[in-house]
Amino acid sequence: MSVSLANKDAVAQEYLVFRLGDEEYGIDILKVQEIRGCDRATRIPNSPDFITGVTNLRGVIVPIIDLRLRFHLPVTEDDKDTVVIVLNFGDRIVGIVVDGVVDVLSLEADQIRPTPDFTSVLSSDYLLGLGVIDTRMIILVNIGKLLSREEMELMDSLVDGQPR
């Protein structure tokens, strides 16, 4: 089995840990603007299924991505813990729907392992590595690389209301 060097960008830092199904994922805490309840999003016709729509967040139109659909995971019926994590990338704000927030963890570089190479099945470009604490494993996601350039342009056009 080959091993990806995806964790070369992973550094000791704090990660917001959230759940999707039975797995735990982590994203750079510095990208998190806020955590909100799962409000109703306005669905935009002809947008990909994983973009559930847009919402108005204090005057800013924010596209909402359901990470369960983006990762091809089942959407649970029990959504009492479902939240939207609002992420700030400097020039754009995006919301991601997750099954629940678990905690904030500080991981040292030696606690981050490379991800196995699954390129024949799934692109691991957006994975930083696996955070390992005792028997617990957290899939570390580079949220900035989660969407392709075309998908980011599509989200921008949803916010702007015009194609790019």
Contact 31, 17 (CB under 8 A): no
Kindly state whether residue 1 falls inside one of the protein's structural domains. Answer: no
Q: Quick check: is 87 in a domain? A: yes
| Tally of domains within the chain | 1
* pTM for this prediction: 0.81
Chain segment 34-67, per-residue pLDDT in tens: 999 877 888 888 888 888 889 999 888 899 999 9
Q: What is the CATH number of the domain that holds 129?
A: 2.40.50.180
SS3 76: coil
Say which residue the tokens 């089995």 belong to. Answer: 1
Q: What is the distance between the alpha carbons of residues 128 and 143, in angstroms, rounded to a whole number? A: 9
- Distance, in Å, from the CA atom of 38 to the CA atom of 8, rounded to the nearest integer, reads 34
Which ranges in 23-76 belong to alpha helices (H)?
67-70
pLDDT at 4: 40
Q: How far apart are CA 14 and CA 22, in angstroms?
A: 21
Mean pLDDT of 96-122: 82
Question: Which residues span the domain enclosing 145?
Answer: 6-160
